[in-house]
Structure 1
Amino acid sequence: MSSGVLRGIDRAAVAVAFADRLRHAGVPAGLTDVGDFVRALAASPPVSLSTLYWTARVSLIRQHAHLAAFDRVFAAVFTDAPPLPPTRSAAPSGRRDDVHVPVPADTDNATSGGGLPWATLPPAVAETEDSEAVTRLPERRPAALAGLADRPFDELDGGQVALLGEALREAVAAWPTRRTRRHAASPTGRRVALRPTIARARRTAWEPVEVVRERPVRRPRRVVLLCDVSESMRAQATAYLHLMRAFAVVADAEVFAFATTLTRLTVALRHTSAAAAVAQASAAVTDRFGGTRIATNLRALLASHHGDAVRGAVVVIGSDGWDSDPPGELADTMARLRRRAYRIVWLNPRAGAPGFVPRVAGMAAALPYCDRLLPAGTFRDLMDVAGQLQSVTCTDGLKWPTRTPAPRIIA
């Protein structure tokens, strides 16, 4: 309480201790009455002793016969008045109002003028060896995932990265679907299926007695992920592999790793064990932690038989933009990829830094053909990426921002 006669005092402890004094004096103050008193003190903090008196009286007194005992206890507690002998209030005969709880023999607790104890403590069984020891409270620490959310990937060990990978898999567990042009029979459909309806009408003299309805078939939006595993992406490579595994297992995505050559990791990352999947994927990439040729690898993907997987898919490229190929080749390849893909999302681990500007030649050449540039330098960023990709998939192209030469940068 910021102001008033009970400044800095625990209101619940005041109410409980005062009600205990009232019960010793013969006033039946129950739990409901104490709760009303606590809520009244919270709603209207008393600014004077008179306000406190009426707040307690209205909340704790239900019968007129208890007023005298209440006044005695209130005066003894809050005004340090001399104790008065316990007396019974006169009440009309024939009523139960004159029945009081008998006052115990030891009434020092009830009417003493020593003030109100602000906390009701249990009786001490035995004294501690060190009575001057300071009470220590438990230290509150963040959870395991919360403590790792904002730490850079190069500061995490293998077990911590695996823990984050499982959290990423749970984040994309409910992968949204998109509406296709195909239809399937369904009793809840709005469209009449003509061929099944006419086929059934042949058995009823061409009268469509049984109408068959159909609805559009929904399928998961395809996702294609490409992860840069060159030397400049050494710290983020393992974490990005866990992100790719989450989409490969849940969303049936096609995943690739590239440095100087392109390597398909879809089969390896679909292993039931996360550790085994990452180990197999790392062993499959023979040019890991080498140079980077983004334009060459994208052309190889579009020219291979996996190029059809890009058509109508959400393409996610995780790279810092450092490329040994000429920027013009990367721009031409990104233009081809943009015409074939549904959306292009670029993950840059350095995009979350304050004042980030894509000045790298490769990043500057690819940026006009990306729909969105997202930071991916910490685990929290990857969780946000999972949410962003889910919003891309479930919009069916209606609410996603239109492609412009200068896409939005989220830093």
Structure 2
Amino acid sequence: MGSVTPHRAAQDACFASHASGGRDVVDTVVGLARTLRHAGVPASPDRVEAMLAALAHLRVLEPADVYWAGRLTLCSGPDDLDRYDTVFAAYFTGTRPRAARAPAVPLPRLAAYAPLDAGTGDGEEDVDAPDLAARASAEEVLRHRDVAGMSAAEREHLRRLFALLAPASPMRPARRRRPAPHGAVHPSRTVRQALRDGGEVSRLLHRRARPRPRRVVLLVDVSGSMTPYADALLRFAHAAVRARPASTEVFTIGTRLTRLTRELRQRDPDRALAASGRAIPDWSGGTRLGEVLKAFLDRWGQRGTARGAVVVVCSDGWERGGTELLGEQMARLRRLAHAVVWVNPHKGRDGYEPLTGGMQAALPSVDHFVAGHSMAAFERLTGVISGA
């Protein structure tokens, strides 16, 4: 899942030329897409338009913003990521791109999961169509498979899918109004503009309150019962931090409370998870949800971290301590947070019912109770968070 990032000095030199007016941004993006097509990446014109639309909302002079805007729009699948990294680095350094490296772990062929029926038409048989359809069906099946039962090769494929995941943050209305083409009339700016124009009001200037990202707080259970899902949950947390680093906080809960926001801000997912593993002292330990949640609210939540935020608790609800304390702290959390989302990996299983004492104590204070056992469940979770 790791990728080769472009050389930072070469990026800075290239984008400094944009600031001096040396090359136009549109020409640069079109040239990058042309080079990617020569390297085998299907950077179609509609993908070029998507990258330009993304750059309109980002800092064009920031190399990291341009890198991720192209990676998320010009690449059509995990196989294009290595070639994109190579071409991106070569395009902005002027060196000749080398051949793309083969993936370290071969992707599994899962055609047996979705056998195709023979066609009934009289036309000539298309040899490539069954293989392409089988691979597409296999990836769709992999998205819905339980993370706990995946093989090593399937987990490697899942890591590549997590690299393409871009969770959207929920928005909140802002009190401060800023200049805008539409909205309420801004009297002071309109008068100042009229004075500069000789005292005549030539046009009305407007202002409006633009929505701001709402804080998202993830509490990930890393106890022994959550070990099969801890890696996937932390990769989802890394994707959330990568999307909104300034408005996302991540903590692990078990027997102790550990803040992982700084470790998960690393760009490479594998390095971020390795740093997180070194920082977690109670990995695969016991579960004291009530005590740890109280420690979070006393130290962080009451001071503003959870106030008005979307708090996501990722746990199976197994509680070794008293459930009364957990119920009290969940009610306290509900009063502070804008919304409380509980993610339970077991909810995705057929016939599951929240019968454990921890879940019975927590559910009255939960706004959204969702599954967290597969890639498709994580994609649905992003929609729940953004629309909370």
TM-score normalised by structure 1 residue count = 0.58
Look up the equivalent residue of 1:149 and give its one-letter code.
R
Q: 1:227 to 1:119 in 2, by over 3 A?
A: closer
**Aligned partners of 1:339 and 1:137: how far apart in 2?**
55
Instruction: Pick one of 369, 372, 375 that aligns with 1:373.
Output: 369
How many Å apart are 1:236 and its aligned residue? 0.5
Look up the equivalent residue of 1:247 and give its one-letter code.
A
Instruction: Pick one of 372, 382, 385 that aligns with 2:381.
Output: 385
Query: Which residue of 2 is the match for residue 265 of structure 1?
Result: 260
Instruction: Pick one of 336, 357, 366 that aligns with 1:361.
Output: 357
Are the counterparts in 2 of residues 350 and 375 from structure 1 also a CA contact under 8 Å?
Answer: yes
| 1:386-401 equivalences in 2 (<5 Å) | 386-392=382-388
Q: Specify the SS of the correspondent of 1:287.
A: coil
Query: Which residue of 2 is the match for residue 284 of structure 1?
Result: 279
1:350 counterpart = 2:346: yes
How many Å apart are 1:178 and its aligned residue? 3.3
| 1:163-182 equivalences in 2 (<5 Å) | 163-172=157-166, 175=169, 177-182=171-176
Are the counterparts in 2 of residues 162 and 242 from structure 1 also a CA contact under 8 Å?
Answer: no
Are the counterparts in 2 of residues 162 and 274 from structure 1 also a CA contact under 8 Å?
Answer: no
Look up the equivalent residue of 1:151 and give its one-letter code.
R
Q: 1:336 to 1:204 in 2, by over 3 A?
A: same
**Aligned partners of 2:287 and 2:123: how far apart in 1?**
71
Query: Which residue of 2 is the match for residue 45 of structure 1?
Result: none
Q: 1:137 to 1:300 in 2, by over 3 A?
A: closer
Q: Specify the SS of the correspondent of 1:300.
A: helix
Query: Which residue of 1 is the match for residue 325 of structure 2?
Result: 329
Q: Specify the SS of the correspondent of 1:289.
A: coil
How many Å apart are 1:147 and its aligned residue? 3.9
Query: Which residue of 2 is the match for residue 86 of structure 1?
Result: none
Structure with max Cα Rg: 1
Query: How many residues are treated as equivalent by the alignment?
Result: 261
How many Å apart are 1:339 and its aligned residue? 0.9
**Aligned partners of 2:341 and 2:224: how far apart in 1?**
22
1:228 counterpart = 2:224: no
Look up the equivalent residue of 1:192 and give its one-letter code.
V
Q: Specify the SS of the correspondent of 2:174.
A: strand
Are the counterparts in 2 of residues 262 and 300 from structure 1 also a CA contact under 8 Å?
Answer: yes
1 or 2, which has the higher helix percentage? 2
Look up the equivalent residue of 1:150 and give its one-letter code.
H
**Aligned partners of 1:120 and 1:198: how far apart in 2?**
74
How many Å apart are 1:120 and its aligned residue? 9.6
Q: Specify the SS of the correspondent of 2:176.
A: strand
**Aligned partners of 1:262 and 1:256: how far apart in 2?**
7
Query: Which residue of 1 is the match for residue 65 of structure 2?
Result: none
Look up the equivalent residue of 1:275 and give its one-letter code.
D
1:212 counterpart = 2:186: no
Q: 1:142 to 1:387 in 2, by over 3 A?
A: farther
Q: Percent identity?
A: 34
How many Å apart are 1:282 and its aligned residue? 1.3
Are the counterparts in 1 of residues 167 and 382 from structure 2 also a CA contact under 8 Å?
Answer: no
Query: Which residue of 1 is the match for residue 89 of structure 2?
Result: none
How many Å apart are 1:389 and its aligned residue? 1.9
Look up the equivalent residue of 1:193 and give its one-letter code.
H
Are the counterparts in 1 of residues 169 and 216 from structure 2 also a CA contact under 8 Å?
Answer: no
Q: Specify every segment of 5 or more residues in structure 1 that has no aligned partner in the other structure, as ranges.
A: 1-117, 122-134, 393-411
Are the counterparts in 2 of residues 154 and 235 from structure 1 also a CA contact under 8 Å?
Answer: yes
How many Å apart are 1:205 and its aligned residue? 7.9
**Aligned partners of 2:283 and 2:254: how far apart in 1?**
6
Query: Which residue of 1 is the match for residue 294 of structure 2?
Result: 299
For the aligned residues, what is the CA RMSD? 2.8
How many Å apart are 1:369 and its aligned residue? 0.3
TM-score normalised by structure 2 residue count = 0.61
Query: Which residue of 2 is the match for residue 114 of structure 1?
Result: none
Q: 1:320 to 1:177 in 2, by over 3 A?
A: same
Q: 1:190 to 1:382 in 2, by over 3 A?
A: same
Are the counterparts in 2 of residues 222 and 251 from structure 1 also a CA contact under 8 Å?
Answer: no
Q: 1:176 to 1:369 in 2, by over 3 A?
A: closer
**Aligned partners of 1:227 and 1:136: how far apart in 2?**
43
